[in-house]
Amino acid sequence: MDINRLRQIKEETFKSVGNRATHSALTGMNYDRQVLVCGSTGCSSNNSQKIRQRLAELVAERGLDRVHVGQTGCFGLCAAGPVVVVYPDGTFYSHVKPEDAEEIVDSHLVNNVEVQRLLYVDADGKTKPFDEIESYCRQLRHALRNCGVIDPENIDEYIARDGYFALYKALTEMSRDEVIDTVTASGLRGRGGAGFLTGRKWKFTKEAQGDKKFVCCNADEGDPGAFMDRSVLEGDPHCVIEAMEIAAYAVGADQGYVYVRAEYPIAVQRLAIAIEQARNYGLLGKNIFGTDFSFDLEIRLGAGAFVCGEETALMTSIEGHRGEPRPRPPFPAEKGLFGKPTLLNNVETYANVAQIILNGAESYNTIGTERSKGTKVFALGGKINNTGLVEIPMGTTLKEIIYDIGGGIPNGKKFKAAQTGGPSGGCIPASYQDIPIDYESLASIGSMMGSGGLIVLDEDNCMVDIAKFYLQFTVDESCGKCTPCRIGTRRLYEMLCKVTDGKATLEDLDKMEQLCYYIKDNSLCGLGQSAPNPVLSTLKYFREEYIAHIVEKRCPAGVCKALLKYEIDPSKCKGCTLCARNCPVGAIDGAVREPHRIDPDKCIKCGLCASNCRFGAIVKA
């Protein structure tokens, strides 16, 4: 591959992809219409592959050779999936089924009439072009710039969007120090959670002495509810490969590993295809662009251990051992994989690199807040209308994310808290919804940026139960190497169980806090050091809920089973006997057409009666 060939591919392919993500009618294009179907995990699990096949078949049958049907990565609005977008119209079809394909082709593509019933309805009740949707136009797509635009399985489409030009620029026009200085000046910080300055990490690895160095990518996205890295790999795998090559050039490595969780089969497959295509083009391998830089890349699959997201554990796992962390120092930059200096960055961090090299540090460091530059991708989940993937400039407030972009809380419920940073993070109460989202602000209120999972909780969620949920996760995932984490998290979990069972005392709360700080201060790795955060932050902001469980023996949100009581409202009960017949333990009795009664000693609080009652007579007390 040389630069002329790269430019030629770009020009040729632009004719096929140039009129995507734009309404302007370009001339000299190969297609008049682009029908793009989301092929990421969320939409694929809802049959989007079948939708695409059917659309392609019908387009061929009708002889529409000026229409292109293609797959892309995630558009972001997973809650509206499966998603089909038609350019240049910008038509946004949501919840599409394979049997809708015929109507889309015949009505829209043949007769130019949009299929009204499939159009996405925005928060204001109107249908509009994709890029004018409220939740979309407030975003700034930097790391996700190609997601939803290109076919991730076609390297030419990546090249058409300036792909591999940053690598060329770095290899031929920039010294290794210039590359590192540019990344440092951009202010890019690690998107995996801790937020270490990326350029500085690169510098340390470059300066380390070693006959062999490695560059690794952490794609072991393990936080429950987080799927940013998966979406990048599924939607734009080449941007990670290109960035890893730039990093390898800068630090002096010739071999790379992507450690990706096996639970992401589509991401693994697309990455494998991308590596193969890059090799075939000579963009991976020996003497890239005719320089003396050589680099190759291998995928290593994780096997379901959360701790392997920790950098030293990840390397131990690539080496083929139990993924246990090791003490630092020595840091991976000095002594990492197979004992060699190793650079490790997360997927989203890499996804920003090529654009920074291509457009300069200023293109990036002018976005964001003073100490947190650029954008951040969040995976919105939980009690929120627009579940999905969003990318926002650093400094956007939580309120904007939840209400303007996320579309608010479903069913008119009240926003209670947002959980960021997964099992390592904390809960931000609704009273802090005006806080700008950046590394420092989140840390100052006892949460953390984390990798970007953002789970919204409403009034029906019990905060003690949420803390317990995360602790159970940590107990399961603690690797067992160090005692404070292995035993400490288990004791902490048991204390939380005491609270939710209504058996704790107020003294236990103090003991819990003490134990939290003990675990934080004494654990070996980040997993243990951050494991108490969900407990500490809920204790700080929702202490009254803990106290209600302890003193009043009551769960205010009505979640904790041991403190729940199901009762039948005699004025509403018609005596239909449905609840009694469905009760698995025979706890309900009463005569036909007479109000029934639940025996609290027999009741296992399964809730089956309440979900079956047609008269709303069974209430949680």
Q: List the x/- string, 138-177, binding to another protein by CB under 8 A.
A: ----------------------------------------
Q: Looking at 323, 374, 407, 452, which residue binds another protein (CB under 8 A)?
A: 323
Residues in 550-609 that interact with another protein by CB under 8 A:
584, 606-608
Q: Name the 3-class secondary structure at 588.
A: strand
Tell me whether the omega of the peptide bond preceding residue 224 falls within 30 degrees of 0, making it cis: no
- The two structure tokens encoding residue 199: 């350029």
Task: Report, in Å, the least distance between residue 595 CB and another protein.
Answer: 24
Q: Is the peptide bond before 82 cis (omega within 30 degrees of 0)?
A: yes
- Nearest to another protein of 187, 388 (CB atom): 388
Asked if 388 touches another protein (CB under 8 A), the answer is yes
Q: Distance (Å, rounded) from C-alpha 374 to C-alpha 384?
A: 25
Minimum CB separation of residue 81 from another protein in Å reads 6
The binder of another protein chosen from 8, 45, 444, 483 (CB under 8 A): 45
Residues in contact with another protein, shown as a per-residue x/- string from 235 to 254 under the rule CB under 8 A? --------------------
Binding segment for another protein (CB under 8 A), chosen from 41-49, 99-107, 277-285, 494-502, is 41-49
Structure tokens at 460: 């029906």
Q: Is 302 in the site for another protein (CB under 8 A)?
A: yes
CB 58 within 8 A of CB 101: yes
Range in contact with another protein (rule: CB under 8 A) among 19-27, 201-209, 295-303, 341-349: 295-303
| Peptide bond just before 429 cis, omega within 30 deg | no
Give the residue, chosen from 3, 137, 194, 301, that forms a contact with another protein under the rule CB under 8 A: 301
Sheet arrangement for strand 91-93:
67-72, 33-38, 84-87, 91-93
Q: Which stretch binds another protein (CB under 8 A): 109-117, 321-329, 490-498, 538-546?
A: 321-329
Give the nearer residue to another protein in terms of CB position, either 369 or 537.
Answer: 537
Instruction: Indicate the residue among 360 and 607 with the shorter CB distance to another protein.
Output: 607
State the residue for tokens 């599409």.
Answer: 96
* Contact call for residue 611 and another protein (CB under 8 A): yes
Helix H or strand E encompassing 169: helix 165-173
Q: What is the DSSP string of 485-515?
A: HHHHHHHHHHHHHHHHTT---HHHHHHHHHH
In the complex, minimum distance from the CB of residue 617 to another protein, in angstroms, rounded to a whole number: 18
Q: Are strands 566-568 and 388-393 parallel, antiparallel or unpaired?
A: unpaired
Which of these, 218, 245, 246, 247, lies nearest to 232 by C-alpha position? 218
A 10 A CB-CB count for 505 gives 12
CB of 197 to another protein, least distance (A): 29
Cβ burial, residue 250 (10 Å; 0-12/13-18/19+): buried
Task: Output 570 or 586, the one with its CB closest to another protein.
Answer: 586
Residue 124 tokens read as 């204001």
Q: What's the min distance (Å) between Cβ of 320 and another protein?
A: 4
Exposed/middle/buried for residue 357 (C-beta within 10 Å: 0-12, 13-18, 19+)? buried
- Tell the residue number behind the tokens 């440092």, with chain if given: 184
Q: Does 305 bind another protein (CB under 8 A)?
A: yes
Query: Taking CB under 8 A as the criterion, which residues in 212-231 touch another protein?
Result: 222, 224-227, 230
Helices H / strands E in the chain, number of each = 25, 17
Stretch that binds another protein, among 76-84, 171-179, 342-350, 586-594 (CB under 8 A): 76-84
Question: Residue 162 or 459: which CB sits closer to another protein?
Answer: 459
d(CA 581, CA 609): 9
Interacting residue with another protein among 78, 118, 344, 613 (CB under 8 A) = 78
For the segment 406-465, give every residue that binds another protein (CB under 8 A): 419, 422, 453, 455, 457, 461
CB 220 within 8 A of CB 261: yes
Answer yes or no whether residue 518 interacts with another protein by CB under 8 A: no
Q: Which is nearer to another protein, 320 or 329 (CB)?
A: 320
Cβ partners under 8 Å of residue 85, min gap 6: 35, 36, 75, 91, 92, 93, 130, 148
Applying CB under 8 A, does 57 fall inside the site for another protein? no
Site for another protein in 255-274 (CB under 8 A): 262-264
Q: How far is CA 35 from CA 9, 148, 514, in A?
A: 22, 11, 58
Stretch that binds another protein, among 102-110, 151-159, 279-287, 300-308 (CB under 8 A): 300-308
Least Å distance, CB 322 to another protein, is 4
User: Is residue 52 within 8 Å of 19, Cβ to Cβ?
Assistant: no
Of 619, 611, 615, 621, nearest in space to 583 by CA = 611
Size of the site for another protein (CB under 8 A): 52
**By CB under 8 A, residue 42 contacts another protein:** yes
- Give one word for 422, left, alpha or beta, with left for phi > 0 and alpha for psi -120 to 50: left
Does the protein bind another protein through residue 319 (CB under 8 A)?
yes
Interface residues with another protein (CB under 8 A)?
41-42, 45-46, 78-79, 81, 222, 224-227, 230, 262-264, 300-306, 317-323, 338, 379, 381-383, 387-388, 419, 422, 453, 455, 457, 461, 466, 469, 479, 584, 606-608, 611-612
